Structure formats: C-alpha cells, structure tokens
C-alpha cells in the first residue's frame, strides 16, 4: 500500500487513508501479507527496507504495488512505460466483488 510515508514516518490525511485501507485488508484477509503505508523504495529494495521498515515481512519483497489513487498510479505507469519501453497490459482487476 504505497504512500509518501513508510510506517509511522509521516502524517496527514493521505497517509491516514492508506493506513486505514491497510488495516481493513489485514482484518478481512489476514492470510494476505500486506504492508502500508510504505514508500516505493522500501517496498521493492531489501537494502532500503532494512533501514526504513526492519520489522516488516513484506518490505523489500513486495510483488504487488497498490497506489493510493488513480492520479499517482496512472502517472507512475506512464513514466515506467515510456522510460523502459515496456508494453503496458491492463488495467487488470481480479477478485474484486461489490
């Protein structure tokens, strides 16, 4: 659950929303390892994760990244697509029920 904050390092309504969403996931699906709020670098880099979130089971090993809003997610996907010449496939939504 990506944010501009890792763990308790930041505050504000955006971080609170990510923190609340993370708690909802943990309570409804305790079988799914989830971490948040977490910054991108701490989510994917073991080296950074050991400094920012040393007690996390997910930090540094995340293989699913959930962005806090459409604006952030779309801009990131476009930047990665353009800079890496990657082929974008999606959006992909799986397992969502109303």
How many angstroms separate the CA atoms of 65 and 79, rounded?
15
Q: What is the pLDDT of residue 98?
A: 56
Q: What is the pLDDT of residue 86?
A: 81
Handedness of CA 67, 72, 78, 83 (dihedral sign): negative
**pTM for this structure?**
0.81
- Calculate the alpha carbon distances from 55 to 1, 6, 39, 98 in Å: 16, 12, 15, 33
* Greater pLDDT, 54 or 85: 54
Confidence of residue 92 (pLDDT cuts 50, 70, 90): low
Instruction: Average the pLDDT over 67-84 and give the result.
Output: 88
């Amino acid at each position: 659950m990506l944010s501009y904050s890792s763990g308790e390092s930041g505050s504000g309504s955006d971080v609170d929303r990510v923190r609340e969403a993370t708690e909802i996931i943990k309570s409804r699906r305790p079988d799914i390892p989830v971490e948040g709020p977490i910054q991108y670098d701490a989510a994917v880099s073991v080296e950074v994760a050991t400094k920012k979130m040393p007690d996390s089971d997910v930090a540094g090993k995340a293989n699913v990244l959930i962005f806090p809003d459409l604006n952030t997610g779309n801009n990131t996907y476009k930047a990665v697509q353009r800079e890496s010449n990657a082929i974008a496939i999606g959006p992909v939504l799986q397992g969502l029920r109303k």
